Amino acid sequence: MHTYSGLFIDGAWSLSSGQATSNVLNPATEEVVGTIPCGNLEDVDRAVKAARKAFPGWSRTSASTRGAYIQALVTKLREHSQQMAALITDELGMPVQWCQSIQVEGPISGLESYIALAESMEHVSQVGNAQVYREAIGVCAFINPWNYPLHQLIGKLAPALAAGCTVVVKPSQETPLHAFFLAELLESIGLPAGVFNLVSGPGALIGEAMARHPDVDMLSFTGSTGAGINVSQSAATTVKRVCLELGGKSPLLIAPSANLERAVRHGVNDIMINSGQTCTALSRMLIPAERYAEALDIAMDEVSGMRLGDPQDPQTFLGPMCSARQLRTVREYIEAGQAEGARLLTDADAGQRFDRGYYQSPVLFADVNNRMRIAQEEIFGPVLCMIPYQGIEDGIAQANDSPFGLSSAVWAGSSTEAITLGRQIRAGQCFLNGADFNYQAPFGGYKESGNGREWGEHGLTEFVEIKALMS
């Protein structure tokens, strides 16, 4: 049981004036695994004031000083990576088989890269009679979702610290525990008071207040497209910078020249990891019509080896959905898909036979038309839409026929062909022939998937103001 009674504000743990608390449930057992304070508007104000007070001092530190704090955090996180992973398995339900490497070690390597990137803040360029400086944007507010909790927090915090910004963080209500643990680690490295502040509570109250706050210079939001639109509207009256990292419905375009077996198996794994609760999940598989039946067989075979169950069991591939609410959403889409005429290939009800936990078994839908709701809307569950196409131009058109443009993938017979196809997909990332995630590469969406970029040098740019001094 993880009990946190205080919020972390101005370098110290303090009670919320509201004194309300909220419980964190383990989605595998439905038992309470943690308690956190539920902050209020006064807490948001206190946190923003602390961040504002700390900003002048922190933003004037040298890049090497900030790099040293980032290095100290990397070291602490490495020392406590198992504890952090266990916490995330408890609050999110991601199986132990994946949790440490994906949810913890990946983000630590991303964090580490900002030690060197901090130095770029000291770069001054000359443009005619102007000297162009890079300065920290100021006080930043972070609103995060629940699905890759540490990854999302580090994706914002690392560049903010490197740039010299101070921050106020609001984690999701479902998976807030990692953020409290991170605050303890930041306290233990002696990060100056007010640089990192943590306020938990409901999005519509705390997130909204952060978005509206006149003393917040920049808002970085990761979550659903609907909530992203809301926070943008709230932030507009103070003309703060708003970076949005939103939903997705990413295609995997399998070219006729592809190794079908490898492509399909890769695609099935990609959507099923974290029970489909991945913003970049390849939820639409576009398959040449002439090889469609073969692709269905391969997908069925791949999914049959994926064990659903207790996330603490090292053999488990799929744990529970993060919450009862998320499970309900997925169940509604499974019904909608069948009503629209898609053909269910798997036993979609296996999870409902568990005694407890929010389990959803893997779902493969065949005969999906890209205009169906299940192919257009983000489901955020282990549901793969398998869609046939007639000729590669049709495949590209269907890949792009989406309101989203977060990620994508192409599998083709050669890397040259994969690059040619990848360039034609309107999305911020495209994984060619099974390529790995890259923590140095820019990450972010086109269209309704957002307007921001995270990670690497482009992620740092979101936290930078540009100043010209003419002489």
Number of residues that bind ligand NAD (CB under 6 A): 31
Least distance to ligand NAD, CB of residue 268, Å: 19
Selected from 40, 89, 113, 230, the binder of ligand NAD by CB under 6 A is 230
Q: Does 176 bind ligand NAD (CB under 6 A)?
A: no
Q: Please report whether residue 308 would count as binding ligand NAD according to CB under 6 A.
A: no
Judged by CB, which is closer to ligand NAD: 124, or 204?
204
> Which of 118, 121, 246, 282 is in the footprint of ligand NAD by CB under 6 A?
246
CB of 431 to ligand NAD, least distance (A): 15
224 binds ligand NAD (CB under 6 A): yes
Nearer residue to ligand NAD within complex by CB, 90 or 378: 378
Smallest separation, CB 185 to ligand NAD (Å): 21
- 220: contact with ligand NAD by CB under 6 A: no
Give the residue, chosen from 144, 316, 360, 398, that forms a contact with ligand NAD under the rule CB under 6 A: 144
Instruction: Report in angstroms how near the CB of residue 320 gets to ligand NAD at its nearest.
Output: 15
**Residue 180 interacts with ligand NAD (CB under 6 A): yes or no:** no
Q: Which stretch binds ligand NAD (CB under 6 A): 9-17, 101-109, 244-252, 286-294?
A: 244-252
Stretch that binds ligand NAD, among 50-58, 113-121, 145-153, 189-197 (CB under 6 A): 145-153
Shortest distance in whole angstroms from residue 78 CB to ligand NAD: 24
The nearer residue to ligand NAD, 123 or 328, going by C-beta atoms, is: 328
- 378 lies in the site for ligand NAD, by CB under 6 A: yes
Q: Report d(CA 152, CA 137) in Å as an integer.
A: 20
Contact call for residue 145 and ligand NAD (CB under 6 A)? yes
Q: Which helix (H) or strand (E) holds 38?
A: strand 32-38
Using the rule CB under 6 A, give the single segment among 22-30, 34-42, 75-83, 239-247 that binds ligand NAD: 239-247
From candidates 26, 172, 200, 220, binder to ligand NAD by CB under 6 A: 172
For residue 289, report the phi and psi dihedrals to the nearest 5 degrees: -55, -35
Minimum CB distance to ligand NAD smaller for 59 or for 250: 250
- Site residues (CB under 6 A) for ligand NAD, limited to 261-280: 279
* Residue 153 near ligand NAD by CB under 6 A: no
Shorter beta-carbon distance to ligand NAD: residue 280 or 361: 280
State the residue for tokens 């609001």: 170
Q: How would DSSP label each residue in 90-153?
A: HHH---HHHIIIIIIIHHHHHHHHHHHHGGGGG--EEETTEEEEEEE--EEEEE--SSSHHHHH
* Residues of this chain, 421-450, that bind ligand NAD according to CB under 6 A: 445, 450
229 is a contact residue toward ligand NAD (CB under 6 A): no
Determine, following the binding rule CB under 6 A, whether residue 388 of this chain makes contact with ligand NAD.
no
Residue 223 touching ligand NAD (CB under 6 A): yes
Enumerate the active-site residues: 245, 279
β-strand partners of 388 = 287
Helix axes 149-163, 106-117, angle to 10 degrees: 10
96 Rama class: left (phi>0) / alpha (psi -120 to 50) / beta? alpha
91 part of the interface to ligand NAD, by CB under 6 A:
no
Is residue 139 within 8 Å of 238, Cβ to Cβ?
Answer: no
Contact 75, 180 (CB under 8 A): no
Distance between CA 299 and CA 267 in Å, rounded? 9
Query: DSSP assignment of 165-177, as one string?
Result: -EEEEE--SSS-H
380: contact with ligand NAD by CB under 6 A: yes
Give the span between the Cα atoms of 275 and 318, in whole angstroms: 6
Q: Provide the CA 283 distance to its chain's centre, in angstroms.
A: 16
Provide φ and ψ at 34, rounded to 5°.
-165, 160
The correct pick among 34, 67, 164, 207 for binding ligand NAD (CB under 6 A) is 207
β-sheet with 196-198: strand ranges across: 12-14, 7-9, 196-198, 166-170, 139-143, 218-222, 241-245
31/356 Cα distance (integer angstroms)? 10
Burial classification of residue 239, based on how many CB atoms lie within 10 Å of its CB (0-12 exposed, 13-18 middle, 19 or more buried) = exposed
Instruction: By CB under 6 A, tell whether 247 contacts ligand NAD.
Output: yes
Q: How far apart are CA 392 and CA 461, in angstroms?
A: 36
Cβ-Cβ contacts under 8 Å for 195 (sequence gap 6 or more)? 51, 54, 58, 161, 166, 167
Longest CA–CA separation in the chain, Å: 74
Contact with ligand NAD (CB under 6 A) among 34, 138, 159, 203: 203
Instruction: Give whichever of 66 and 156 is closer to ligand NAD, judged by the CB atom.
Output: 156
Residues of this chain that bind ligand NAD (CB under 6 A): 143-148, 152, 170, 172-173, 203-204, 207-208, 211, 222-224, 227, 230-231, 245-248, 279, 378, 380, 406, 445, 450
